[in-house]
A = this chain, B = another copy of it.
Amino acid sequence: MVNHSRTTKDSRKYGATMDTAVQTLGEPKIDSPLDSAYFVEDSERVLHSASAEEICREVNAGREPISFVKAGPRRKIYFDPSKLKCAIVTCGGLCPGLNNVIRSVVLTLFHTYGVRNVVGIMYGLQGFIPRHGHAVMELNPSTVAQIHELGGTILSTSRGPQDPSEIVDALERMNIGLLFVLGGDGSFRAGLKIADEVANRGAKIGVVGIPKTIDNDINFLSRSFGFNTAVSMATRAIGSAHVEALGSPNGVGLVKLMGRQSGFIAAWASLAQRDANLVLIPESDFDIDGPHGLLAWLEKRLERRKHAVIVVAEGAGQKYCSEEGTDPSGNVKLGDIGWYLKDRIDDHFKEKGIEMNIKYIDPSYMIRSVPANADDAVFCGFLGQKAVHAGIAGKTSVVIGTWNDEYVLIPIRLVVQGRKQVDLKDRLWTSVLEATGQPSLKPEKEEEGRQVIN
């Protein structure tokens, strides 16, 4: 799929100073067991921008254009597969495809490189900490044979950071040489600290991340696994909302979708199932009251069309319902915009004495707990392979990403510098506006790149 969710201009923020070099544990000296393989050289790099003008301008000005190191098997590897022990850990919320990635990592380690010693750390980073008392799980081709058919993760997860020093103690105690972290933003920050602690101790433990976020908002990653599956599931919720809206006088279907800080799922699902008449995302402010607010819009819409479908990302409209505090992962707690909107709409039409029938759908965990679809399954398979290729070659503090249709290696430190958001001027959001025909819900017309006729 064309990655409408990449933010094409984010490199400009970092400008010429953006360093995409990848760290290594040391010089890889062992011949790869892969024969006549499709080896990749460290010098192969993928341009960050594919804009002909931009790149020509940069090169002609004598500047090296920003690019990422290409992922793939290296001719020389760092670890001796026969002696290497690896660990895999899954952190944070569930996401379709976790088991596919675990399976791919394990199968590539075993079948491609001949590594025989792989363990799964149970319950996320908690699993490293002795006082939590979680066991580890041995992983091999037989234990992972069917796991891609199951949702969730066979390793279970937990939220929240743990002491990096205790984690490295555990890694050393278990004699782990290579740690694969499947997680998001928070986990990668933890991964960075682990890698720092490893470096401080002069240990030789590689840390390779495989980015996991159902919201698809990890920096510098054109796509994260599970997102495609999540969108498929979200479209069903919107379809249901549409059926319900059509099913009663002045029917309103209201769907809350994931997206704490970004509206990618809401935007994509709205484009896939073109039934939404209003899409609300964290990136685009809106008013509920007033002549340009949501309630006024809805009243007019019902008058004209007798039904409406509204999609709201969970992080939208927090100015109306925000709560205090953070969850164990350190994420700011969100107020429940779904119920808030439902109540406001209910009250408004009751006050006005207009019959209105709102049906609220929050598919929540039903979206993220399903097995990966075919597309994500292929993607996860590649991510796992590339992660192993990177790790065994001695790359560390690195995640596997995709950019311009290539798999690339991105330093973790770049990934945790910020989050992607929907660019209100770019084709994804303008297409949503076009598809829904929705107006700006702000007093004066805002600069949202409106593309509708009048």
Interface residues of A (CB under 8 A from B): 1-4, 6, 33-38, 43-47, 50-53, 55-56, 59-60, 64-65, 67, 72-73, 94, 103, 107-108, 111-114, 123, 126, 132, 134, 146, 148-153, 156-159, 222-223, 228, 231-232, 235-237, 239-241, 243-244, 246-249, 251, 253, 268-269, 271-274, 359-366, 369-370, 373-375, 377-379, 381-382, 385, 402-407, 425-427, 430-431, 434-435, 437, 447, 449-454
A231 in contact with B385 given A2-B379, A45-B52 (CB within 8 Å): no
Decide if A52 touches B67 in the complex (CB within 8 Å): yes
Q: What is the total number of copies of this protein in its complex?
A: 4
In the complex, how many angstroms separate the beta carbon of A410 from the nearest chain B beta carbon? 14
User: Which chain B positions have C-beta within 8 A of A132?
Assistant: 249
Can you list 17 A-B contacts with CB-CB less than 8 angstroms, sorted by A residue number? A1-B378, A2-B405, A3-B405, A35-B450, A38-B425, A38-B426, A38-B427, A44-B51, A50-B50, A55-B65, A112-B434, A123-B248, A151-B240, A232-B375, A236-B366, A273-B377, A375-B375
User: Which chain B positions have C-beta within 8 A of A268?
Assistant: 374, 378
In the complex, what residue of chain B is closest to A237 when comparing beta carbons? B366
Decide if A271 touches B377 in the complex (CB within 8 Å): yes
Decide if A271 touches B381 in the complex (CB within 8 Å): yes
Contact partner of A451 (CB less than 8 A), chosen from B73, B94, B146, is B73
- Further pairs besides A72-B427, A123-B248: 4, Cβ < 8 Å: A1-B379, A38-B426, A44-B53, A269-B374
Decide if A46 touches B52 in the complex (CB within 8 Å): yes
A47 in contact with B45 given A37-B450, A375-B228 (CB within 8 Å): no
Q: How far is the CA of A268 from the CA of B375 in the complex (A)?
A: 9
Decide if A246 touches B55 in the complex (CB within 8 Å): no
In the complex, what residue of chain B is closest to A34 when comparing beta carbons? B451
A108 in contact with B434 given A38-B425, A45-B53, A243-B152 (CB within 8 Å): yes
Contact partner of A431 (CB less than 8 A), chosen from B149, B385, B402, is B385
Decide if A1 touches B44 in the complex (CB within 8 Å): no
Contact partner of A453 (CB less than 8 A), chosen from B94, B111, B222, B253, is B111
User: Which chain B positions have C-beta within 8 A of A111?
Assistant: 434, 437, 452-453
User: Which chain B positions have C-beta within 8 A of A437?
Assistant: 111
In the complex, what residue of chain B is closest to A132 when comparing beta carbons? B249
User: Which chain B positions have C-beta within 8 A of A107?
Assistant: 435
Decide if B381 touches A240 in the complex (CB within 8 Å): no
